[in-house]
């Protein structure tokens, strides 16, 4: 957005068909009227005030004394849309849950290390407000208290099932992310990709790329290039250069669609920041679902150049199935970069074309493909339009001043390895402050007839909504790898687990797989699950017959189903069991214990699985416990009743410790090699 001489506001967002701005410029008076008509509810305001109040505290995200980056302290939960038991929807949720199970298992281990209630699985009931949702879970307004509701919340569902509004509101006090994909295969890919990144099976170069478009004669991108991308890249270089981050700038004429496609295809950076227009289409257009929110690059000649062609923007379909973005995060400043709401708040009451933005709320295809197809960890984007007020603050004369603190703080936080949901707290605090200020101003206008200029009111309202609408697509607990990180193997038991749902069907994102599924070699009774935010009639979700599902027949993932119940399936299942077992061994290997007993009857100890009880015959004489992080407890044996170490026994014991450690290292190496090199599909 920019302020022109005429006091009109120009918006980001270009109509993909006409090349015109999606929403014609509006006067500040119009915006101010909209703002006055949309005050916050009392409960929302209470939350926002509380958030703004505690924002000055050092740790504003969670209750005092809690390290928000430690899942064992902050907690983690997944939220599915509620479904009636036995219904088709319930089966769909169960299938999605199973596809995500490697990630859920990992988070369970990480979060429930100290308290099993710090890992939770919730449902969201249709129509619930944020307050009702949290109240049902036992949480009161205020900083997140993981004892009641974990701080990190991963929503798994379309914005039709779990509304954007609930996401925004819960995000005020919690770290919220969302995933929603068209196929179970994408859930599976995403879960594995996160684990691969967190267990350091993939290593991205510590490079941050800042891509800034400046289309000719276009005010919005001129501002974002000048006041957002360029200075933000400078800041990152200055602040993070010594921490090993290389910063690349891809600006103006370099910021072509081909260049961006290349960045996403060949050697992608660990962190990619883009600022551009997002492409929009009229509600119901057949191009809207696949292309809305696509990143419009330098190729477009600006608002006076006429229409936009497909070559001008980078969309979800540009992420090919062999692209590998694991370990990467994206931040895309663009209209609809994360999603599109059904209705347009900014044009309300003006009879604008944008009143109904889409037939229903939906996520943008680009981040979906980045995560579900290419395995990126997360993408930050904007739901609805993005505004220049994100980085420009109008002074009392209405002149824009650069204000980058929120972006700088967020980028710094991400590059330094904070979890993305926590890093986004800077935006949440900004929203809380702006929204509560705005509501106070509106109350002043209503109750005390205080004079507030339209410009000020419009500015505050836009800023507030703009700050609110940033959303994380992905698990809010992911983080960029840092030098010195050790492979976090918690819950990696399921890492090599093959996808247990056979995915196929008419997924529009993966035509190559659809054709394979339809080959005559596929079993006729194969279960096809297709989740989709498409509402078209020709996209159906087929649910496996109850008996088949119950029998666990669809549990061998990429090993495919045997056609006639013969060898291939058994082999595949066996391979899955092997990989599961090896993986579980890793989880068990977090702590290593070696005990040495002396017994007058050595034979009596043979065959006993459990620890030996000390008795007249058998005594525990030496003990060592080593954790993977290096913590070690040792009990040394003494000779008889004296205070001399029993060197003989101690020497043997320490040798056994060494061998046990060597075995553990070898086992971990083997499993990681299997998982990282081969058993994963990328």
Partner 1 sequence: MSGPFELNSGFFPGELASMALGPWSNVSRSESGLVSFSSAADEDATVEAPHWCVDLDGDLSQALAMLEAGDRSLLDTETRLVQISDRFDRTIEIARTSEAGQVSFSSEVLPDSESRLLDDWNDAFAPARHGEATENIPRAAAKSRWSEMAASARSAIEAVWRLVSQHSWVDTRLRGRLVASTFMTVSGDTRLTVGPQLTAETAFLHRRSFSLAVRTRDAWARLLTSVLQISARIARVAAVPHSFVTALPIVWKFARNVLAEIDTLRQLSRQHQT
Pick from 311, 605, 627, 633: which binds partner 1 (CB under 8 A)?
605
Interface pattern 652-681 for partner 1 (x via CB under 8 A): xx-xxx-xxxxxx-xx--xx-xx--xxx-x
Nearer to partner 1, 265 or 595 (CB): 595
In contact, 340 and 362? CB cutoff 8 Å: yes
- Reported for 539-546, long-range contacts at CB under 8 A and 24+ positions apart, including other chains, are 539/506, 539/508, 541/88, 541/92, 542/505, 543/88, 543/91, 543/92, 544/91
Under 8 Å between Cβ of 438 and 458: no
d(CA 24, CA 4): 13
Specify the stretch interacting with partner 1 by CB under 8 A; choose among 299-307, 399-407, 415-423, 645-653.
645-653
Q: What token pair was written down for 320?
A: 């090919």
Q: Is 597 in the site for partner 1 (CB under 8 A)?
A: yes
Binders of partner 1 among 186-205, rule CB under 8 A? Answer: none
Per CB under 8 A, 642 contacts partner 1: no
Q: Does 574 bind partner 1 (CB under 8 A)?
A: yes
Q: Which one of the spans 82-90, 130-138, 253-261, 607-615 is the region binding partner 1 (CB under 8 A)?
A: 607-615
Nearer Cβ to partner 1 (267/608): 608
Helices and strands: H and E segment counts in the chain? 21, 24
Taking CB under 8 A as the criterion, the residue among 140, 588, 614, 639 binding partner 1 is 588
Written as six digits, the tokens of 245 are 């981050």
Choose one: 100-108, 395-403, 410-418, 589-597; the region binding partner 1 (CB under 8 A). Answer: 589-597
Cα gap 270→261, rounded to integer Å: 15
410 backbone φψ class: left, alpha, beta (φ>0; ψ -120 to 50): alpha
Q: Nearest approach, Cβ of 649 to partner 1 (angstroms)? A: 6
Instruction: Kindly state the smallest distance separating residue 82's Cβ from partner 1, in Å.
Output: 37
Nearer to partner 1, 33 or 188 (CB): 188
- If one counts every other C-beta atom within 10 angstroms of the C-beta of residue 47, the result is 24
Site map 551..570 versus partner 1, x via CB under 8 A: -------xxx-xx--xxxxx
What's the rounded Cα separation, in Å, for the pair 480 and 368?
Answer: 19
Please tell me whether residue 440 binds partner 1 under the rule CB under 8 A. Answer: no
Instruction: List the one residue from 444, 446, 611, 633 that touches partner 1 (CB under 8 A).
Output: 611
DSSP SS3 for 618:
strand
- Binding residues for partner 1 restricted to 26-55, rule: CB under 8 A: none
> Measured from the CB atom, is 378 or 675 closer to partner 1?
675
# residues near partner 1 by CB under 8 A = 71
Q: Can you say whether residue 217 is alpha, beta or left, with left for phi > 0 and alpha for psi between -120 and 50 degrees? A: left
Which residue number, 135 or 558, has a Cβ lying nearer to partner 1? Answer: 558
Q: Of the listed pieces 255-263, 419-427, 431-439, 578-586, which binds partner 1 according to CB under 8 A?
A: 578-586
Is 554:526 a contact under the CB 8 Å cutoff? yes
Q: Which is nearer to partner 1, 635 or 649 (CB)?
A: 649
Helices 88-111 & 184-198 angle (0-180, nearest 10)? 0
Contact call for residue 598 and partner 1 (CB under 8 A): yes
Rounded alpha-carbon distances, angstroms, from residue 71 to 113, 152, 153, 298, 397: 9, 8, 11, 41, 46
Is 514 a binding residue for partner 1 by CB under 8 A? The answer is no
CB of 572 to partner 1, least distance (A): 5
Q: Does 592 sit near partner 1 (CB under 8 A)?
A: yes
Residue with tokens 């769909």: 92
Dump the DSSP string for 77-98: EEEEE---TTSHHHHHHHHHHH
């Amino acid at each position: 957005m920019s302020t022109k001489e005429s006091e009109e506001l120009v918006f980001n967002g270009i109509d993909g068909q006409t090349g015109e701005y999606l929403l014609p410029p509006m006067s500040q008076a119009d915006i101010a009227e909209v703002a006055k008509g949309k005050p916050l509810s009392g409960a929302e305001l209470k939350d926002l005030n509380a958030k703004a109040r505690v924002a000055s505290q050092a740790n504003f995200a969670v209750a005092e004394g809690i390290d928000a980056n430690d899942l064992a302290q902050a907690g983690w939960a997944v939220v599915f849309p509620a479904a009636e038991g036995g219904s088709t929807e319930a089966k769909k949720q169960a299938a999605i849950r199973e596809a995500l199970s490697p990630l859920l298992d990992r988070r369970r281990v990480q979060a429930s290390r100290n308290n099993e209630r710090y890992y939770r699985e919730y449902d969201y009931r249709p129509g619930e407000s944020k307050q009702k949702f949290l109240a049902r879970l036992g949480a009161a307004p205020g900083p997140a208290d993981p004892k009641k509701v974990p701080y990190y919340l991963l929503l798994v569902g379309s914005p039709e099932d779990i509304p954007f509004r609930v996401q925004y509101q819960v995000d005020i006090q919690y770290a919220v992310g969302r995933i929603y994909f068209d196929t179970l295969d994408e859930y599976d890919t995403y879960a594995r990709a996160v684990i691969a990144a967190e267990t350091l099976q993939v290593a991205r170069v510590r490079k941050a790329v800042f891509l800034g478009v400046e289309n000719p004669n276009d005010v919005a991108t001129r501002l974002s290039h000048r006041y957002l991308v360029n200075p933000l890249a400078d800041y990152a270089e200055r602040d993070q250069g010594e921490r090993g981050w290389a910063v690349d700038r891809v600006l103006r004429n370099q910021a072509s669609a081909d260049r961006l496609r290349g960045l996403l295809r060949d050697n992608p950076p660990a962190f990619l920041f883009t600022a551009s227009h997002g492409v929009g289409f009229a509600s119901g257009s057949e191009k809207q679902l696949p292309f809305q929110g696509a990143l419009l690059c330098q190729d477009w000649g600006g608002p006076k150049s006429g229409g936009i062609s497909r070559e001008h923007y980078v969309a979800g379909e540009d992420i090919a199935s062999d692209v590998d973005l694991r370990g990467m995060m994206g931040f895309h400043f663009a209209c609809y970069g994360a999603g599109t709401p059904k209705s347009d708040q900014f044009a309300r009451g003006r009879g604008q074309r944008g009143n109904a933005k889409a037939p229903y709320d939906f996520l943008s295809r680009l981040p979906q493909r980045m995560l579900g197809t290419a395995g990126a960890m997360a993408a930050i984007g904007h739901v609805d339009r993005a505004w220049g007020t994100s980085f420009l603050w109008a002074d009392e004369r209405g002149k824009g001043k650069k204000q980058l603190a929120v972006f700088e703080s967020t980028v710094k936080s991400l590059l330094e390895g904070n979890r993305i949901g926590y890093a986004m707290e800077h935006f949440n605090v900004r929203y809380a402050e702006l929204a509560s200020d705005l509501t106070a101003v509106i109350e002043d206008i209503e109750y005390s007839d205080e004079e507030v200029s339209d410009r000020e009111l419009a500015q505050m309202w836009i800023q507030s909504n703009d700050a609110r609408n940033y959303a994380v697509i992905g698990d809010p607990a992911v983080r960029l790898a840092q030098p010195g990180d050790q492979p976090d193997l918690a819950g990696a038991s399921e890492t090599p687990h093959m996808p247990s749902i056979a995915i196929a069907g008419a997924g529009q994102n993966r035509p190559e797989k659809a054709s394979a599924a339809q080959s005559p070699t596929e079993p006729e009774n194969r279960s096809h699950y297709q989740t989709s935010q498409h509402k078209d009639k020709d996209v159906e979700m087929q649910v496996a017959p109850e008996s088949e599902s119950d029998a666990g027949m669809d549990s061998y993932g990429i090993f495919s189903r045997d056609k006639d119940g013969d060898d291939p399936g058994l082999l595949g299942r066996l391979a899955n069991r092997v990989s599961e077992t090896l993986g579980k061994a890793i989880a068990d290997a977090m702590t290593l214990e070696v005990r040495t007993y002396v017994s007058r009857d050595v034979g009596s100890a043979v065959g006993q699985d459990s620890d030996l009880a000390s008795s007249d015959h058998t005594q525990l004489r030496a003990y060592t416990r080593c954790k993977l992080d290096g913590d070690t407890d040792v009990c040394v044996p003494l000779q008889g009743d004296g205070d001399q170490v029993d060197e003989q026994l101690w020497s043997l014991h320490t040798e056994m410790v060494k061998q046990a450690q060597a075995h553990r290292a070898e086992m971990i190496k083997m499993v990681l090699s299997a998982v990282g090199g081969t058993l994963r599909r990328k």
